[in-house]
Structure 1
Amino acid sequence: MKNFILFALLLIMVGTSCSDYNKIVKSTDYEFKYKKALEYYEDEEFVRSSQLLSELVNIYRGTSRADEVYYYYAKSHFGMNDYLMAGHWFRTLVKDFPKSKYAEESQYMIGYCFYLDSPKPRLDQQVSQKAIDAFQLYMNLYPGSDRIEEANRLIIELRDKLVFKSFLSAKLYYDLEDYKAAVIALNNALKDFPDTKYREELMFMHLRAKYLLAIRSIEEKKEQRLTDALDEYFTFVDEFPESEYRKDADKFYQQTAKLLNYNEEANL
């Protein structure tokens, strides 16, 4: 009986709440509606706050309060994990009100929304690149911000994702025995992200791809490609003399030198 009474009271409360909200939606008192939208936002009822603000962004457009309405509308979408719409309204705010007190945070949030929407490395990484570009723009615009360290950390994370995407692409080319495409993919990754934590592994893969490409080449291209593989070996061991891949790299050197008819002993 007690549980039934509590359930009935809950239904009454929910019904009353819905009734009150419907009255707010139908109200033409926009100041009152805006006040309630902020209350819903503060109470983390983001669906209701965003629904009210969706009307108010048009009502207050062109007024001194427009940037604030845009800001809370964007934040409401963010609270609902709708990062696509949140990012859109943060960009709109920055574009229309570059001098707004909300502009700095909004510029950061543009990058952060892209970051949260960034897919797994196996998928297309255009959103990740957009996040990097947005964070870099933020740091250029606000070099004294206390968010700089965090923005840098997120950029590094996103760049590592792009590098890993290149790694996966190269591995796919390996599996397909398309070593020419693997060389190109790895070369681009090393050129675009020279400071990546994957550099040692990428450089070894680059060496191995060049070696495999060379030994499978037609005769008129083999010598030049073997020479390229040899140069890649020296580049690799110069940068990573104690690499865990050193033994395999040395084998590539010895086999390449033999194919090129080197007379001198490998100085390993």
Structure 2
Amino acid sequence: MRKALLYIFIFSLFLTGCNETNNLLKSSDYDYKYEAAKQLYAEGHYNSASYLLQNVLTAMKGSSKGEECLYLLGLTSLKSKNYDAASTYFKKYNETYPKGIYAEEAKFNTGMALYLGTPEPKLDQTATYQAVNQFQQFLDAYPGSHLRENAQQCIFELQDKLVEKQYLNAKLYYDLGSYIGNGVNGNYEACIITAENAIKDFPYTKRREDLAYLVLKAKFDYAHNSVAQKQEERFNDAIDEYYGFLNEYPESKYLKDAKDYYDKTPIAYKRSTNN
């Protein structure tokens, strides 16, 4: 009879919306509300399920259902795309039930919530670093997990986003060129440092060639715009960069453009490399 009443409630909830939810929230039968929330979750009505679970969580604390209730709150938030709330609930679960039956999944889903909430590359990437760190914590805690490959793949994708941010920053510095807001040649120096750091931090990135070409361009332009007493040293550095680029990317899509940069180098500074 109780189960039948529950299904009647769920059906009426679909028909009448929030009024039925509000009526149920007034009930003191927390077990009934909890079962209704689980049924709503099973049916894919995550926002309604989350609303009810939040209402019963305190009452369920300390009971056999309290652990599952907290974990379900994380899941409903994750599936309703409320990623900040999801990560908070999953973290709270791991803090409250470090040896709980959902501890492994909660640890992984904390990372997943952060991963899904990361912004596009042109924006601040603090959340992306947090997501990488969380997945790494998961891998350290559960090295043999069946979710290991999923976590590693997410880390790779997050790293791609971090590299893309670095590439966009380096490209912006290069595009600003000799604009004196960052000092004479400051933008070229910033481009070189940013791109080289990205290559160092993420040596296997798919953006490696693009970053290397940015370094090459910036070094040649840096030399061209330098004062006379600094040009020889900086052109020689740019020439070294050119030959290093040819060696690493003999079939690069940038070969013609790279050669154009080299060909524009004053003859005096080519001599030391050719001899």
TM-score, normalising length from structure 2? 0.84
Q: Is the 8 A contact 2:132 2:155 kept in 1?
A: yes
Task: Give the deviation of 1:63 after TM superposition.
Answer: 4.1
Structure-to-structure mapping, 1:134-213, within 5 angstroms: 134-177=134-177, 178-213=187-222
Provide, for residues 180-201 of structure 1, a one-character-per-residue CA deviation record: whole Å limited to 9, x for no partner: 1111111121111111011112
Deviates more, 1:80-89 or 1:133-142: 133-142
The SS at the match of 1:217 is coil
**Cα distance between partner residues in 1 of 2:246 and 2:18:** 70
Rate the CA distance shift 1:134–1:18 in 2: closer, same or farther, 3 A.
Answer: closer
Q: Which residue of 2 aligns with 1:26?
A: 26
Task: Give the deviation of 1:149 after TM superposition.
Answer: 1.8
The SS at the match of 1:146 is coil
The SS at the match of 2:86 is helix
**Cα distance between partner residues in 1 of 2:173 and 2:73:** 45
Rate the CA distance shift 1:133–1:13 in 2: closer, same or farther, 3 A.
Answer: closer
Task: Give ranges in structure 2 of 5+ residues lacking alignment.
Answer: 1-10, 178-186
Task: Give the deviation of 1:54 after TM superposition.
Answer: 1.0
Task: Give the deviation of 1:13 after TM superposition.
Answer: 7.5
Task: Give the deviation of 1:258 after TM superposition.
Answer: 2.3
**Cα distance between partner residues in 2 of 1:66 and 1:230:** 67
**Cα distance between partner residues in 2 of 1:208 and 1:197:** 19
The SS at the match of 1:44 is coil
Structure-to-structure mapping, 1:1-268, within 5 angstroms: 14-15=15-16, 20-177=20-177, 178-256=187-265, 258-260=267-269, 262=271, 265=274
Q: Is the 8 A contact 2:13 2:20 kept in 1?
A: no
**Cα distance between partner residues in 2 of 1:79 and 1:159:** 24
Rate the CA distance shift 1:135–1:197 in 2: closer, same or farther, 3 A.
Answer: same
Provide, for residues 143-181 of structure 1, a one-character-per-residue CA deviation record: whole Å limited to 9, x for no partner: 222222222222222211111111111121122102111
Q: Which residue of 1 aligns with 2:3?
A: none
Deviates more, 1:47-56 or 1:20-29: 20-29
Q: Is the 8 A contact 1:169 1:182 kept in 2?
A: yes
Rate the CA distance shift 1:141–1:11 in 2: closer, same or farther, 3 A.
Answer: closer
**Cα distance between partner residues in 1 of 2:227 and 2:60:** 70
Task: Give the deviation of 1:67 after TM superposition.
Answer: 2.3
Q: Is the 8 A contact 2:12 2:20 kept in 1?
A: no
User: Identity over aligned residues, as a percent?
Assistant: 38
Letter in 2 for 1:191: K
The SS at the match of 1:260 is helix
Task: Give ranges in structure 1 of 5+ residues lacking alignment.
Answer: 1-9
